[in-house]
Amino acid sequence: MRIPLSAPDITERDIEAVARVLRSGSLSLGPQLEEFERGIREYVGSAHAVAVNSGTSGLHLAMRALGIGEGDEVIVPSFTFVAVANAVCFERAVPVFVEVDSETLCLDPTIVEAAISPRTRAIIMVHTFGCPADVAAILDIAKRHKLFVIEDACEALGAEIDGRKVGALGDVGVFAFYPNKQMTTGEGGMVVTGNPEIAATVRSLRNQGRRDPQEWLQHEEIGYSFRLTDIQCALGSEQLKRIDSILRRREAVAESYHRRLRGNPNLILPPLRLPRRRISWFVYVIRLAEGFTREDRDWIMQQMQKRGIGCGRYFAPIHLQPAYSDIAFRKTDLAFTEHIGERTLALPFFNRLADEQVAEVVTTLLGLLRKARLR
């Protein structure tokens, strides 16, 4: 693609940081791991941070550390990445799919409470596309019903509510550093929590159930190989040093799109700003207005790709995925989720996207929208 959907932002300093680790010979469970965990812990304001090999692994370990198991129910959105529900299924628990808010596309608190049953143990609150969910309302519901709250902040590093970073507001938070994220370690994730017992359990589980790192062949529980290498941690630490400038640049790209697309009756744009919240822009996802169909969306996406412009649908509802056709789950009425799942389109979005590239994307999109109306 001439203009890709996403692209990692790698500098010479990043490359040199990785090279130093390679020269050191300490490639795993070394000083770079500790440095990266400390950096994330201080940045988000959490007492504990445990690096893992992906956001999916982080969600899985959060479930296990909270003791959620077979037959337990966990409330999740269906309009999100499939890893959220997969983490529930890994522990043989039951996902309960709940509708999302029409503005933020995060869990709708007014519907969450009605979905709670005697078997509900937790809520996974996703900060969708980097937009903070209604944390206060969901935490209040969880407190009244004695439920755990897992914050899926995999798309939301740096997002804030009332000046506090998301991820550190529930019982456990999870971040991810895949190459399309705000910052990257190639593959990787981080579990944050204020609870030392949860942190110790996650730390053990990521390393084959070892509680004492000095006792390499002593395994206290059934664990996993979910470690993050020092090579990746060095990259993460270097990128974290410039996270503020990264977020400002991504805000500028979102503003550029908004300025060019606002007022178009064929589109519903994401909110540029929300009261008391700071959005950490992960992707820029538009919705086609009423009158357009899934076929229109797919045609526009294909035509843009033919012109060398990357784009993609975000998200196909999880409860409609083939992988979930034989999975036991509960759900509320998901009419809105299904509606937007057919009309969302992610436009190219990354740190170094130039303003002239944004202009080309917008010009191409608007032309295709007009043609789609005439098809």
Q: In terms of domains, do 184 and 71 share one?
A: yes
Q: What is the CA radius of gyration of the chain?
A: 21
- Overall average pLDDT of the 296-311 stretch: 97
Decide if 310 is inside a domain: yes
Which has the closest alpha carbon to 31: 224, 178, 234, 210?
234
Quick one: average pLDDT of 287-316? 96
CATH number at residue 307: 3.90.1150.10
HSE-CB for 58 with a 13 A CA cutoff: 29
Residues 255 and 364 in one domain: yes
| Beta-bridge partner residues of 52 | 189
Confidence of residue 3 (pLDDT cuts 50, 70, 90): very high
Written as six digits, the tokens of 117 are 């049953």
Q: What is the CATH number of the domain that holds 185?
A: 3.40.640.10
Asked which of 223, 240, 257 is the last residue of a domain, the reply is 240
pLDDT exceeds cutoff 90 at 35: yes
Identify which of 229, 179, 209 has the alpha carbon closest to the alpha carbon of residue 28: 229
Given 187, 219, 240, the domain boundary residue is 240
Residues 284, 330, single domain; the answer is yes
Residues 220 and 201 in one domain: yes
Report percent pLDDT > 90 for the chain: 98
Q: Do 91 and 234 reside in the same domain of the chain?
A: yes
Q: The pTM is what?
A: 0.97
Structural domain contains residue 2: no
Whether 189 and 278 share a structural domain: no
Band the pLDDT of 373: cuts 50, 70, 90: confident
175: left (phi over 0), alpha (psi -120 to 50) or beta: beta
CA-nearest of 43, 287, 276 to 175 is: 43
Residues 154 and 250 occupy one common structural domain: no
Residue 26: band (very low, low, confident or very high) from pLDDT cuts 50, 70, 90: very high
Residue 370 confidence (pLDDT) above 80: yes
pLDDT at 374 over 80: no
Inter-residue contact 288 to 266 (CB < 8 Å): yes
Residues 311 and 335 in one domain: yes
8 Å CB contact between 100 and 126: no
| pLDDT mean over 337-342 | 97
Across the chain, mean pLDDT equals 97
Which tens digits make up the pLDDT trace of 88-128? 999 999 999 999 999 999 999 999 999 999 999 999 999 99
Percent of the chain with pLDDT over 70: 100
- Confidence at residue 62, expressed as pLDDT on a 0 to 100 scale: 98
Is 1 inside any structural domain?
no
Does residue 19 sit in the same domain as residue 113? Answer: yes
Residue where a domain stops, chosen among 240, 266, 298: 240
pLDDT of residue 75: 98
For 249-276, what is each residue's pLDDT tens digit?
Answer: 999 999 999 999 999 999 999 999 999 9
Contact 86, 114 (CB under 8 A): no
**Number of compact structural domains in the chain:** 2
Q: Is 6 a domain residue?
A: no
pLDDT over threshold 90, residue 142: yes
Is residue 109 in a domain?
yes
Give the domain extent around 365: 243-374
Active-site entry in 143, 146, 165, 181: 181
- Is 136 part of any domain? yes
**Distance (Å, whole) CA 206 – CA 83:** 17
Residues 276 and 152 in one domain: no
Contact yes or no for 302/332 (Cβ under 8 A): no
Within a domain: residue 3?
Answer: no
pLDDT, position 105: 98
**Integer Cα distance of 331 and 109 in angstroms:** 15
Residue 150, domain member (yes or no): yes
Residue 214 pLDDT > 90: no
Q: For position 375, what pLDDT does the model report? A: 72
For 319-332, write each residue's pLDDT tens digit.
Answer: 999 999 999 999 99
pLDDT band at 282 (very low <50, low <70, confident <90, very high): very high
- Same domain for 252 and 202: no
181 annotated active-site:
yes
In this prediction, residue 173 has a pLDDT band, given cuts at 50, 70 and 90, of: very high
| HEC-encoded secondary structure of the chain | CCECCCCCCCCHHHHHHHHHHHHHCCCECCHHHHHHHHHHHHHHCCCEEEEECCHHHHHHHHHHHCCCCCCCEEEEECCCCCHHHHHHHHCCCEEEEECECCCCCCECHHHHHHHCCCCEEEEEEECHHHCCCCHHHHHHHHHHHCCEEEEECCCCCCCEECCEECCCCCCEEEEECCCCCCCCCCCCEEEEECCHHHHHHHHHHCECCCCCCCCCCCCCCCCCECCCEHHHHHHHHHHHCCHHHHHHHHHHHHHHHHHHHCCCCCEECCCCCECCEECCCCCEEEEECCCCCHHHHHHHHHHHHHCCECCECCCCCHHHCHHHCCCCCEECCCHHHHHHHCCEEEECCCCCCCHHHHHHHHHHHHHHHHHHHHC
194 and 250 part of one domain? no
> Given strand 73-77, what is the order of strands in its sheet?
48-52, 189-193, 172-176, 148-152, 120-126, 73-77, 94-98, 330-331
Tell me the per-residue pLDDT of 179-213, one tens digit each, with 9 for 90 and over: 999 999 999 999 999 999 999 999 999 999 999 87
